[in-house]
Amino acid sequence: MSAPVEIANTGVKGLVTDWASDKDAFKNVSWGKTMMWIFLLSDTFIFSCFLVGYMSVRMTTAVPWPIPSEVFALTIGGQHIPLILIAIMTFVLITSSGTMAMAVNCGYRRQRKKAGILMLVTALLGFCFVGMQAFEWTKLIEEGVRPWGNPMGAVQFGASFFMITGFHGLHVSIGVVYLITVAVKVLRGDYEERGYEIVEITGLYWHFVDLVWVFIFAFFYLW
C-alpha cells in the first residue's frame, strides 16, 4: 500500500498558509524585522506622496514662494543668520543616527549597558530635535504663518510646511518614546536570553526617520 501523497495548498488558501508560517514565508528572517520593513515601506509611500504633492503645488502656484533663507532665519547678536536653526537641527538628527548605529553594534556584541546608554543618548538628541522644531513652529505662527494663510507669499506654503514637518515630527516623537522603552528593557536585561535584535529593529526605524529628514531638508530649506 503506497503512502498518502500530501497535496500542496494552492490559490488563496495556499497563500494564507504560507504567510501564516514564519518558516515557509521568510525562512530565517524574524517577524519583528519583517514587519518593520513592511511598515517603513508603507511610510515611504506616504512621505513620497507628500513631497511629490509639495513639488506640484510649488511649481504650479502663481504667487511667489517664500524664500527659505529669509523665512527660516534667526537674529542672533544683531546678526541675521539664515537657516542656522535648521542646520543645528540637521546636525543633531544626523548625530543621533551615529549614536543609534553604535547602539546596534553594541547590541550585536551583547554589551547591553553600552547599547542601552547609547539608545538613551539617541532619544535625548531626538527630543532636542523635536524641541527645536516646536520653537521653529512657534516663530512662524507668531509671524502670521498658518495652514490656511501666509503673509510672506503663497498660501500653500503654510499648509505644506506644517503638514509635512508635523508628520515627520510625530514620527520622531514616537521614535523617542520607542527608544526609551526599549533602552530601559535592554538595561534591565529583558532581552538577555532572546538576543538584542530588537535594538537593530529600533535602529531601522530611527535611521528611516533621519533619512526622511534629509529629503525634507533638501525640498523645504534648500530649494
pLDDT of 5 reads 45
Question: What is the structure's pLDDT at 194?
Answer: 82
Fold observed for domain 22-222: Four Helix Bundle (Hemerythrin (Met), subunit A) (1.20.120)
pLDDT digits (tens, 9 = 90+) for 99-153: 999 999 999 888 989 999 999 999 999 999 999 999 999 988 988 888 887 888 8
Instruction: Give the pLDDT confidence of 159-208 residue by residue, as tens digits.
Output: 899 999 999 999 999 999 999 999 999 999 888 888 888 999 999 999 99
pLDDT at 171: 96
Distance CA 146, CA 53 (A): 18
Q: How confident is the model at residue 6 (pLDDT cuts 50, 70, 90)?
A: very low
Mean pLDDT of the chain: 86
pLDDT of residue 9: 56
Can you give the residue ranges of every domain in the chain?
22-222
